[in-house]
Amino acid sequence: MSKKCPLFYFNFVTGFAPTFRKYPLQPNLYGIIGGNVTLICQPESAPQSEKEWLKNGQAFNPSTDAQDRVTLLSNGNVHITGLQQSDEGEYECKATNIHGSDSTRGQLTVLR
């Protein structure tokens, strides 16, 4: 009498490229002059991705100093206090890891 052993196949995921399908940047963001806004960049990825911000297609490098008006937070989000008309524009968060990259965009409109 012979016994048959079932075969098991495991599909291990060692990582995946960043994606914003679940948490894209809001396409239309609004703030008022003098107000505050936080631009949220929350990609899903493995391993964790590096984040890069652009404003109107140009490199955007906010300060990491919490005392500054435009700050890059430790989680990769951008916080802007004391909104000014010059803050208005298209913001893009690009996430990259060893498996690839993805980006998400949103238009910030500053109301008077």
Q: Which domain holds residue 87?
A: 33-111
Contact 39, 73 (CB under 8 A): no
Cα–Cα distance, 63 to 79 (Å, whole number): 10
Model-level pTM greater than 0.75? yes
Residue 1 lies in a domain: no
pLDDT tens digits, residue range 42-65? Answer: 999 999 999 999 999 999 999 999
The predicted pLDDT at position 19 comes to 98
CATH code: domain of residue 44:
2.60.40.10
Q: Is the pLDDT of residue 24 over 70?
A: yes
Residue 12 phi, psi (nearest 5): -85, 130
Instruction: Give 65-112 pLDDT, tens digit per residue.
Output: 999 999 999 999 999 999 999 999 999 999 999 999 999 999 999 999
Q: Is residue 4 part of a domain?
A: no
Q: Look up tokens 């906010």; give the residue.
A: 62
Asked whether residue 19 is domain-assigned, the answer is: no
Note the pLDDT of residue 14: 80
Number of structural domains in the chain: 1
In a domain, 22, yes or no: no
Residue 66 placed within a domain: yes
Residue 1: is its pLDDT beyond 60? no
Q: Is residue 41 part of a domain?
A: yes
Residue 6 pLDDT exceeds 70: no
